[in-house]
Amino acid sequence: MARYVVCKIEDFPASGRMLVEVNRRPVVIFRLGEEWFGLLNTCPHQGGSLFNGYQAGLAESDRPADYRYSRQGEIIRCPWHGWEFDIRTGRSRCRPDAVKVAQFALAVAGGKEIESLDDVKGVETFDVKPEGEYLLLSL
Amino acid sequence: MNDLNVGGDRPRPYRGAVDCDVQITVPHRDALLPYLDEYWRDVSLQRGLQTLDTAAFPRQAPINARPDWRLPEPASVRDQLRSLQVNLLDRYGFSAAICNCLYGVQLLHSEDMGQSIARALNDWIAREWLDNEPRLRASIVVPMQNPTMAAEEIRRVATDRRFVQVLMLVMGEMPLGKRYYWPIYEAAEECGLPVGIHAGSMYRHPVTGTGWPSYYAQDYFSQASAFQTQLTSLILEGVFGAFPTLRVVLSETGVSWLPPYLWRLDKYWHGLRSETPWVKVPPSEIVRSRVRLTTQPFDTPADPAVVERLLDHIGSDEMLLFASDFPHWRFDGDDLLPAGVSPDQIAHISRANPLATYPRLAEGVVP
Amino acid sequence: MEKDIFSRLAPRWRTHIATVGMLARQGFTQEMQYPKGQPMAVRRDAFPPGGGMPGSDLDFMRAQHLDPNNVQFGVLIPLGAAQSLQNIDLSVALCTAINDWQVEEWTSREPRLRGSIVAAYQDPQAAVAEIHRLAGKRDFVQVSLLSRLPNPIGHRSFWPIYAAAAEVGLPIGVHAFGNGGWAITGGGWPSYYGEDMMSHAQTSQSALASLVLEGVFERFPTLRVALIEGGLGWLPSLRWRLDRIWERSRDELAHLPRPPSEYIRESVWLTSQPIEEPANRQHIAEVIDWIGWDRVLFASDYPHWDFDDPQRAMPLPLSRERRDRFFLKNALDLYGIPHG
């Protein structure tokens, strides 16, 4: 397993999403509160860039005229055809078992911890400082 | 088995078949007079009401009667019935036939007049048709002008168990999935009746989404497009979820439009699901489990290979219901179904599927 | 984009638009009858970084679509309300402005792109004049109409347009959409955008049936028509149905000596987008077998949200010949672009 330092936590964009290329793969990283989720930035349908999608909530209903809306911001809709994917699982809303986006594990690690690991690479070149906190992506 | 008169040289794969769509015609306005109450009978006479033939099915248009089945107009019930018996029921040994009467009741703008004539029509069907031929079953004609009245009529007529479905026209005041129509679906479901949506229009709108065509040929052509738009409405409005045991039969639709239509609808559902979040499974699954289509017209070419491919695209042997569409001119000779439908599929289409779709068929007449 | 076009109008029309707007046989002045699934029905990633509407910035279109997708030949179709306006004079003026804008901002700057002549069908004489004004230019490869007009598209009131197109040798592109003022279904106005979108396949069917049955192809045998953005899967069924109806309606259709399928096979092309997506993709190839591989044209619908990516729209192993035809050669042939 290779691990990649994505960025300093404080540098993560305020928009709550970030596009990186890891080992030639485009990965979109979403921040939901203090949790981070990485998805392949290619919609399994026709290849739209999920990074450019709309972060919606989850609309559910048991009968017409009943709209339940929850999990605001946790569903990414592809900017092209509007397919919905659960940011937490990568599964599509319509066919969760058949259509999924590949996920990448993310973790927050301190600079000291990172210095002790031997398989860590940087997404870009930058210095890891012992006192900093960093986002670490596993591949 | 009703295999009387089925000669040895007759094609036999249809013995015991259920014909899910035969047309019966009100010969003349006066035929219904005895079934109207006093006020409406007198209205018919005072105002000189005409026979309510619909522009969707001009009687004399060649497409609306097979040449060898055409009767001199106005054809009496007796003559129509004899033709049905000789040409279909006895000839092929059908076990039952479901009558649809496309009298233009739904076209009237007065809800009350629509209601009164629909009542008379259903009573006329029971007395003049069902009482005279035990193999016949019928659809309940409802005043679509007023869904509450329509629901009342369903509950009134459904006590006669020879009525096996509710008849609606594919083009109404508004798309058929809209909540406006739900009292009809509620009553149908409560009575255990499928809703049969048949080609035809209330003519509240042009038959195309782009205005009135010059030719009847396009009016008839447009029925197939109308079925597509109305099926979309039923699905996206959530009718199948709200009425979980309701079945819908599409009659006289053409069949071959179905697969590409579903491919498109499934595609759009993936992107627009959140607009109608009550639609939880792909529309094609809803259609496969809840919607049936009658088989004439089929709208395929003569090449059996194409028909085989098309049936593969449909992907289910359970979706089609055998129908002759008598006396409309859909096929010649004994080609009740197009070449390319296998004997096994014929068995499904002509017997098993109708019996599964119409619970009331199992009562009594069908052996 | 609207600014680019409105600035080309006479002051009278600029005032008109600024005050009463552009009435277009629908109730809203800004919103559409069915609010779209995404803003302005566009790809969310198609807004040019320099501002403006998607599809209004040539450099961005090159960078996002033409270059990465190796587009060698692209046909522009300016939609917008110009062709559906209630005020006929305004419609005529806007169509002219849009046509000039296509040349100045697009086709003169990018040789891969060609335009579509938008013409005010409400005033056939003006439409004919506009066709003749522009037909000689290399910038335009078709005359653009919409599927939803106040009368079915085969209606005789539109025939001068077909006569002019046939005369100058330009195909008619019939793009799904438009506001004819009628409900999009024969059974009234649906509730949802999803129904509106779905129904464009049915209005495309109505448009084609109308062209055939009203006798347009019989009267103008050299006229070629491309049906755009209605998908393509429905065509075989339509052809089979029309032929059967024609066989049974020879008296009513005495003006059509040949079966509908023959007119369609000769005179009609279909663009692919939004391509139907059966679970078994081989099925779409079988449907195109029935249509004819020489009659289907790839379309992306860039920058709209239901864009088809050329890399993914036809996920099937195709022979080289079919691939070339579908993605390029059929279009070059139809639109009269020389190729080797």
Closest CA to A78 of A44, A102, A35: A44
Contact list in A for residue B237 (CB cut-off 8 A) is 64
Residue C162: how many CA atoms within 13 Å on its side-chain side? 24
**Cβ of B282 and A95 within 8 Å?**
yes
Angstrom distance (rounded) from CA C148 to CA C250: 28
Q: Does C44 touch chain B (CB under 8 A)?
A: no
Q: Which chains touch B (3 or more CB pairs under 8 A)?
A: A, C
Strand, helix or coil at B333? coil
Predicted pLDDT at C23: 93
Q: Of chain B residues 209-238, which have a CB less than 8 A from chain C?
A: 209-218, 220-222, 224-226, 228-230, 232-233, 236-237
**Cβ of C187 and B201 within 8 Å?**
yes
Q: How far apart are the first and last CA of chain B?
A: 6
Q: Does B338 touch chain C (CB under 8 A)?
A: no
Structure tokens that stand for B207 in this block: 């038959």
**Cβ of A59 and B270 within 8 Å?**
no
Least confident of B52-61, C82-91, C108-117, C258-267: C82-91
Residue with tokens 């809209």: B178
Q: Check if CATH label 3.40.50.970 holds for domain C2-334.
A: no
Q: Does C37 touch chain A (CB under 8 A)?
A: yes
For chain C, the C-alpha Rg in angstroms (whole number) is 19
Angstrom distance (rounded) from CA C4 to CA C105: 9
Predicted pLDDT at B367: 42
> Residue B332 pLDDT more than 80?
yes
CA distance A39 to chain C (A): 18
Average pLDDT (A15-26) is: 95
Angstrom distance (rounded) from CA C146 to CA C153: 8
Predicted pLDDT at B38: 97
Indicate the average pLDDT of chain C. 95
DSSP state, residue B281: S
pLDDT over 90, % of chain C: 89
> Residue B1 pLDDT more than 80?
no
Q: How confident is the model at residue B4 (pLDDT cuts 50, 70, 90)?
A: very low
Q: How confident is the model at residue B150 (pLDDT cuts 50, 70, 90)?
A: very high
What type of residue sits at position A15?
A: S
Angle at B187 between CA B185 and CA B189, to 5 degrees: 65
Chain A interface, mutation test: which of B263, B274, B278, most A Cβ atoms within 10 Å? B274
Q: Does C308 touch chain A (CB under 8 A)?
A: yes
Residue with tokens 């040019």: C48
Structural domains in chain A, CATH included, are 3-138 (2.102.10.10)
**Cβ of B264 and C233 within 8 Å?**
yes
Average pLDDT (A7-35) is: 95
Chain C interface, mutation test: which of B221, B253, B288, B312, most C Cβ atoms within 10 Å? B221
Q: How confident is the model at residue B6 (pLDDT cuts 50, 70, 90)?
A: very low
Predicted pLDDT at B9: 52
Q: How many CB atoms lie within 10 A of CB B67?
A: 9
H helices within A50-134, ranges in order? 111-116
Average pLDDT (A42-54) is: 96
Average pLDDT (B311-330) is: 96
pLDDT in tens, B275-302: 999 999 999 999 999 999 999 999 999 9
**Cβ of A81 and B273 within 8 Å?**
no
Residue C132: how many CA atoms within 13 Å on its side-chain side? 11
Q: How many CB atoms lie within 10 A of CB C215?
A: 18
Q: Does B181 touch chain C (CB under 8 A)?
A: no
Q: Does C317 touch chain A (CB under 8 A)?
A: no
**Cβ of B270 and A56 within 8 Å?**
no
pLDDT in tens, A90-135: 999 999 999 999 999 999 999 888 888 877 877 776 778 888 899 9
Q: Of chain A residues 87-116, which have a CB less than 8 A from chain B?
A: 92-95
Q: CA dist C318 to A45, C5, C324, Å?
A: 20, 42, 9
pLDDT in tens, B201-252: 999 999 999 999 999 999 999 999 999 999 999 999 999 999 999 999 999 9
Structure tokens that stand for C3 in this block: 């600014």
CA distance A53 to chain B (A): 12
Cross-strand bridge partners of residue A21: A26
Structural domain boundaries in chain B: 18-362
**Cβ of A82 and B241 within 8 Å?**
no
Indicate the average pLDDT of chain B. 95
Closest chain A residue to the Cα of C38, Cα to Cα: A82
Structure tokens that stand for B208 in this block: 């195309």
Average pLDDT (B29-51) is: 97
Strand runs (DSSP E) across chain C, as ranges?
74-75, 113-118, 140-146, 172-175, 225-228, 268-271, 296-297
Strand, helix or coil at B108? coil
Q: What is the 3-state secondary structure (H, E, C) of B4-27?
A: CCCCCCCCCCCCCCEEEEEEECCC
Angstrom distance (rounded) from CA C297 to CA C228: 9
Stated pTM of the model = 0.96
Helix B147-157 and helix B111-124: axis angle, to 10°? 20
Predicted pLDDT at A124: 72
DSSP state, residue B238: T
Residue with tokens 């060898």: B68
- Nearest CB to B278 within list A62, A83, A94: A62
Q: Does B15 touch chain C (CB under 8 A)?
A: no
Contact list in B for residue C190 (CB cut-off 8 A) is 175, 177, 229, 232-233, 236
CA distance A15 to chain C (A): 16
Q: CA dist B357 to B89, B126, B133, Å?
A: 20, 21, 22
CATH of segment(s) B18-362: 3.20.20.140
8 Å CB contact between C117 and C130: yes
Angstrom distance (rounded) from CA B139 to CA B124: 12
Predicted pLDDT at A116: 84
Neighbour-count burial for C221-254, b at 16+ CB within 10 Å, e otherwise: eebbbbbbbbbbbbbbbbbbbbbbbbebbeebbe
Closest CA to B239 of B287, B305, B173: B287
Predicted pLDDT at C171: 98
Average pLDDT (B103-116) is: 98
Closest chain C residue to the Cα of A43, Cα to Cα: C312
8 Å CB contact between A27 and A19: yes
> Residue C182 pLDDT more than 60?
yes
Predicted pLDDT at B365: 52
Structural domain boundaries in chain C: 2-334
